[in-house]
Chain A
Amino acid sequence: MSEFIAQYGSLLIENTWITIYQTTLSTLFAYILGIPLGVLLVISQPHGIWPHKSLNACLGWVVNVGRSIPFIILLVALIPFTRFVMGSAIGPKAVILPLVIAATPFVARMVESALMEVDAGVIEVAQSAGASIRQIVWKVILPEGLPSIVLGASITFITLFGYAAMAGVIGAGGLGDVAVRYGHYKYQSDVMIATIIILIILVQIIQVLGNGISRKIDKRLKNKIGGGKN
């Protein structure tokens, strides 16, 4: 065991960090792009606060196209574009671009379904109070939908772990790369198992964190009797 750690410990730690770095940054950028898209998808619906049939249909189509391309294919198809934008098609940093492109439509749908849960009655109150569309989005739809958005974010994060591992196969580094190079090509099952264990632990941590934060910020889960605690 100690021999294994001495031999592969630093390799595993380094690549774990690469995977976390890739996943975190791409989740972040995917949300920066995906939240406005999700909001637009919701408010432009026929019964939304800013109905725009053609815009809604168009956005929905783009998002569906994005979601229907398997990541491994998108990754390869985007190589020329990634090279053009990031200066290189492979490597730990370059892969963030295809990860963001793959995750944004996914995030847009997650945000859309989170925001669809916001009670229509509450939006109506805001309208009857004379709130503008911008005020309704910022003061009502987003804050009321936030706990669900956070839950969705942990799912996105976990999905991107899987994508980042796939990207390892084409030279993006990270745990996927380690698993393929050592575990697969060199038949080192112990390295393979170690990467799987690390991934399992990471996914558990993210899920627990996501659930915890969502519960913490969701005021609907406040203690009903003797309130004010928490």
Chain B
Amino acid sequence: MIEIINLSKFFSTESGDFTAINDINLTIEDGDIYGIIGMSGAGKSTLIRCINLLEKPSEGKILIDGVDITALEGNGLLELRRKIGMVFQKFNLLMQRTIRDNVAFPLEVAGVDKKQRLERVDELLDIVGLNSKAGSYPVQLSGGQQQRVSIARALANNPALLLCDEPTSALDSLTTNSILKLLKDINHKLGVTIIIITHEISVVEKICKKVAIIDESRIIEKGLVKDVLKNPQKEMTKKLLERGELIE
């Protein structure tokens, strides 16, 4: 279980301080697919990046199975990150490595020996249906295939938690559906908890069990998808339902 308690992040820039997220409280149960939806600049990316400490929170706590992770440093921090998978909007594959070696990257980092690495990579490429591309390079793959590789990579170290930062925003609608289906399968078969950041309501409708709506750095509404979407309480949520997505 992940408990986010009174979490805030302030940035100081040359043009003054600004608050990226403000007093966020959120509980994510094991096995959930939790959607966090908001406009660009609302703070949703900062929030997800706090969970594996790519951003260091300014205030508040993040408890994973009851242990506060926000104070982790050095090896403790590296260990934590190895247990959390992350998928990015831009896929971010290593362009000079084959698909096989891209998926093997987190295993290499964790010190898994070569034989085990290769076995695990085969399993992972099976899961995402790309075994035939093992020897190819990223540039030879389509966007959707590259995102599958990045999902396989994120699952390499058997994480209990998968963070997805706008995983379908760079994809067309058909590919989006297949990636969402893959994420749902992974959640179902492997029991991986998934937190997914998006600005598209359709993503939430298709795979999420729960949703939080974030606006101007704060969570304005949260709960089961069926409740929130059927009976929105806030103006922003209603607007979102009308337009289907939250881009200005």
Contact = CB atoms under 8 A, between A and B. Distances in A.
A219 B94 CA distance: 10
A144 B94 contact: yes
A130 B106 contact: yes
Interface stretch (B25-33, B56-64, B135-143): B135-143
A121 B106 contact: no
B219 interface: no
Contacts, number: 89
Contacts of A219: 95-97, 137-139
B110 A130 contact: yes
A181 to B, nearest CB: 47
B109 A131 contact: yes
Contacts of B163: 128
Give the interface residue-count category, chain A: 20 to 34
Given A124-B54, A129-B109, A224 B92 contact: no
A122 interface: yes
B110 A121 contact: no
B209 interface: no
A115 B193 CA distance: 36
Given A222-B137, A227-B140, A125 B96 contact: no
A217 B137 CA distance: 12
A131 B80 CA distance: 11
A216 to B, nearest CB: 12
- Overall SS of chain A's interface: helix
A220 B139 contact: yes
Nearest to B156: A129
Interface in A121-174: 121-122, 124-132, 135, 139-140, 143-144, 146-147
Nearest to A121: B92
Given A122-B92, A122-B93, A222 B140 contact: yes
B161 to A, nearest CB: 12
Contact of B105 (A119, A124, A126, A220): A126
Contacts of B34: none
B139 A224 contact: yes
A119 B90 CA distance: 11
A125 B165 CA distance: 12
Nearest to A219: B137
Contacts of A128: 52, 54, 81, 84, 86, 163
Contacts of A143: 94, 96-97
Nearest to B102: A125
Interface in A192-230: 217-224, 227-228
A124 B88 contact: yes
A141 to B, nearest CB: 11
Given A119-B92, A121-B92, A124-B88, A130 B139 contact: no
Contact of A227 (B97, B108, B136): B136
Interface in B63-95: 77-82, 84, 86, 88, 90, 92-95
A84 to B, nearest CB: 43
B139 A121 contact: no
Contacts of A121: 88, 90, 92
A223 B156 CA distance: 28
Interface in B133-153: 135-140, 150, 153
A217 B54 CA distance: 32
A139 B88 CA distance: 19
Nearest to A217: B96
Given A130-B109, A143-B97, A224 B140 contact: yes
Given A129-B105, A131-B109, A222-B140, 12 more contacts: A129-B109, A130-B106, A135-B108, A135-B109, A139-B108, A140-B94, A143-B97, A144-B94, A147-B96, A217-B96, A219-B96, A220-B137
16 contacts: A119-B95, A125-B86, A125-B88, A127-B54, A127-B81, A129-B81, A129-B106, A131-B78, A147-B96, A217-B96, A219-B95, A220-B96, A222-B140, A227-B137, A227-B140, A228-B136
Give 3 closest A-B pairs by Cβ, nearest first.
Answer: A130-B81, A227-B140, A130-B82
Interface of A: 119, 121-122, 124-132, 135, 139-140, 143-144, 146-147, 217-224, 227-228
